[in-house]
Amino acid sequence: MRYGLVVLLLLVFAVPAQADIDLDAEVARLVGPDATVRSAAYTTLMRANDPAVIAKLLPVLGDADDIAQYYGVLLIQRHPKQGKPALKKLCASRSPHMRVVAGAALWRMGDRKAGPVIVKALAADGVEDTRRGTMLMRIYNVTDPGVMEAVRGFLTTDGAPTVVQAAVYTVYVGRDRSAVTALQGLDEHADSGVRAMAGAARLVLGDPTGEGTLAGAFEDGGVSTSALSRVRSILDQARPVPPKVLAAIHGALAEETSPYALRMLVELLGLHGYAKATKDI
């Protein structure tokens, strides 16, 4: 009993109180290059829950990388009274990603004037494809009509797969049924991951013809692990998954070599009760 009490006291005193945290040092760690250090700093600042961190973040977030900007906004939005004015300032950043993340946070906090900020940032020139895909993923649950129209503009047959996949996932999350026609057009996209995601999204959005597109993408092969992960997430909302699709996913097992992708395929089939896969495996 005494030993347990000692351990408990050691744990309590090992956790720094809010006043003991050096906000300047933790913010410097948050915007630094080391991912592990950054994650630890984010956890520390979240636990501190100190609105004073906002003033420390404002001068440095605009020049930070995407992950640090995202973490910074998550910290800021925890304090709506002080956070909203700060987010509005970040909406004027030179960084399109910063403007998207800050604008999306404001919109989700009820500021509908943030919609045009997001639209303009999404259309910024000179943004690398991977970063633009990240920007699209940051606007989850923003259902502003103007923003959704801008996102639909990225559903093109000649778009970079990273960008188009992100746009597909965003219209799916926003349950944007007006995107179905554009999603159908992605049947002509060269990337099987784009086609798989578009087919899955169409099923959720009420278009049964997505079945053929999704099954065909798996039959063609080459669905990337990132696309596969998103297809799994989408299909969790598409119960029951058509047998034709499950059969095509089952067929993809024989061609897949990535352990991660194999696990995803098996789990996907198991979640939807495809017993034949279990026997074959």
What pLDDT is attached to residue 266?
A: 87
Please, are residues 51 and 82 in contact by the beta-carbon 8 Å criterion?
Answer: yes
Q: Are 102 and 95 in contact (CB under 8 A)?
A: no
* Angle ∠(93,95,101) on CA atoms, nearest 5: 85
Contacts of 190 (CB under 8 A, 6+ apart): none
**Do residues 178 and 152 lie in contact, with contact meaning Cβ atoms separated by under 8 Å?**
yes
- Measured CA to CA, the distance from residue 233 to residue 213 in angstroms comes to 17
Q: Would the pTM count as exceeding 0.85?
A: yes
Burial (0-12, 13-18, 19+ Cβ within 10 Å), 104: buried
Query: What DSSP line would sit under 153-175, residue for residue?
Result: TT--TTS-HHHHHHHHHHHHHTT
Neighbours of 16 (CB within 10 A): 12
> Do residues 121 and 100 make contact, with C-beta atoms less than 8 angstroms apart?
yes
Query: What was the pLDDT predicted at 253?
Result: 86
CA-based nearest residue to 97, from 75, 78, 124: 124
Per DSSP, which regions of the chain are E strands?
A: none
Residue 16's pLDDT is what?
Answer: 47
User: What is the DSSP annotation of 89-109?
Assistant: HHTT-S-HHHHHHHHHHHHHT
pLDDT in tens, the chain (281 residues): 444 434 333 433 444 444 478 999 999 999 999 999 999 999 999 999 999 999 999 999 999 999 999 999 999 999 999 999 999 999 999 999 999 999 999 999 999 999 999 999 999 999 999 999 999 999 999 999 999 999 999 999 999 999 999 999 999 999 999 999 999 999 999 999 999 999 999 999 999 999 999 999 999 999 999 999 999 999 988 878 889 999 998 998 888 888 888 888 888 888 777 655 445 44
Considering Cα of 248, then 249, then 254, then 256, what sign does the dihedral take?
Answer: positive
Q: Per-residue b/e over 66-78, b at no fewer than 16 CB within 10 Å?
A: bebbbbbbebbbb
Q: Say if residues 207 and 240 touch (Cβ distance below 8 Å).
A: no
Q: What per-residue confidence (pLDDT) applies to 254?
A: 85
pLDDT at 279: 52
Question: What is the model's pLDDT at position 239?
Answer: 76
DSSP string computed for 192-228: HHHHHHHHHHHHHTT-TTHHHHHHHHHHH----HHHH
